[in-house]
Copies of this chain bind each other. A is one copy, B any other.
Amino acid sequence: MNAALAKLYQSIAPRLAAVEQEIAETLACPQPEIASLLEVSGRYGGKRMRPALVLLVASELGCVDARHERLAAVTELIHLATLVHDDVIDEADMRRNVSTVNAAHGNYEAVLLGDIIFARAIHLLAKLGDRRSLLVLTRAVSTLCEGEILQNRHRRDPDLSEATYYSVIGGKTAELYAAGAGLAAHVAGANEGVVEAFSLFGEKLGLAFQIIDDCLDVTGDEREVGKSLGTDLRNGKMTLPVILFRESGAAAERALVRKVFSDAVDPAAAGSLRELLVEKGFIRAAARVAAAHVEEGLEALRRAVGRPLPAMEAIGQYVLERSL
């Protein structure tokens, strides 16, 4: 964990440790065949942004308890299940410097393992006994997968609209952030207006997170990003900087985007596009859009709660500034 993240998580460190414990217990299994598989996914690690968001929302409202730890663990377990399935889908070999489950044990077991993690996550959620959490999070999982299907349908589509782009990232990333933040407020006993404001903040934070991911794919540090740069372009995945570039100009810009997104991979064209995105300021422009999303979420929160929310400002700032 880097210094910025450690600072952000300082106030909730003991709670996060309890979440880790709950995740480990949920993934425990007496059968050695299954236990070794579940351990692989446990090693995926990651930033734990989703559980941290749940805990920070609850502590911002002055009312964080063991139920939030459980809710936080569930959001991370759901995320973990989707990662295991994403790796099958992408035929990925490595994630965060660990062999993926599909690479180590085959697609057969990776598909089933994702299902097991998801089922156990919802089992844990059922123990929490909060009807709204169950309804919102199961809906979120469906929406998340629908966003990924939409993304797949538009792979290598150079004309993907900004509206469809937002449907994709709204589903695959922002929905789970929105669910986590809104439910954290709900479980803390907040009124409906406050719950909805936190849900909107979560959504905006998730959108910003994904847009910054788009930018890091072009300008990031490979070791920190954890994958080789330019992956999105190579895979024909449309990103906000590319949309802004495409919409900024005339025929030449459109033609270059078309070339990069065509089936025949052209590394030279992709290289030119990446250079132009940086030099002409489209990475910075996309980052400004991300910042506007965060500000919009914070503004809604301030209106609903009627006071500044330092922990939410801090997590927003972290999302915008990470390694950019």
Chain B residues whose C-beta falls within 8 Å of the C-beta of A113 in the assembled complex = 145, 149
A115 to B142, CA, bound (A): 7
Please give the distance in Å from A35's CB to the nearest CB on chain B. 10
A85 to B107, CA, bound (A): 10
A55 to B266, CA, bound (A): 59
A110-132 contact mask (Cβ, 8 Å, vs B): 1 or 0: 01111110111011001101010
Are the C-beta atoms of A145 and B119 separated by less than 8 Å? Answer: yes
Are the C-beta atoms of B116 and A145 separated by less than 8 Å? Answer: yes
Are the C-beta atoms of A115 and B118 separated by less than 8 Å? Answer: yes
A78-98 contact mask (Cβ, 8 Å, vs B): 1 or 0: 000010010011000000000
Chain B residues whose C-beta falls within 8 Å of the C-beta of A127 in the assembled complex = 135
Please give the distance in Å from A192's CB to the nearest CB on chain B. 19
Q: A107-B107, A146-B31, A150-B33 are in contact. Are A134 and B122 (CB under 8 A)?
A: yes
Chain B residues whose C-beta falls within 8 Å of the C-beta of A108 in the assembled complex = 89, 152
Are the C-beta atoms of A120 and B138 separated by less than 8 Å? Answer: yes
Please give the distance in Å from A174's CB to the nearest CB on chain B. 17
Chain B residues whose C-beta falls within 8 Å of the C-beta of A82 in the assembled complex = 115
A148 interface residue, CB < 8 Å from B? yes
A148 to B150, CA, bound (A): 30
Chain B residues whose C-beta falls within 8 Å of the C-beta of A152 in the assembled complex = 108-109, 112
Partner of A141, one of B31, B34, B111, B115: B115
Can you list 30 A-B pairs with a CB-CB distance of less than 8 A? A29-B146, A31-B146, A31-B150, A34-B149, A37-B149, A88-B107, A88-B111, A89-B107, A89-B108, A89-B111, A89-B112, A109-B149, A111-B114, A112-B145, A112-B146, A112-B149, A113-B149, A115-B142, A115-B145, A116-B141, A116-B142, A118-B118, A119-B138, A119-B141, A119-B142, A120-B142, A122-B122, A123-B135, A126-B134, A126-B138
Beyond A34-B146, A34-B149, A88-B107, 6 additional pairs, beta carbon < 8 A: A109-B149, A115-B141, A116-B141, A119-B145, A122-B138, A129-B131
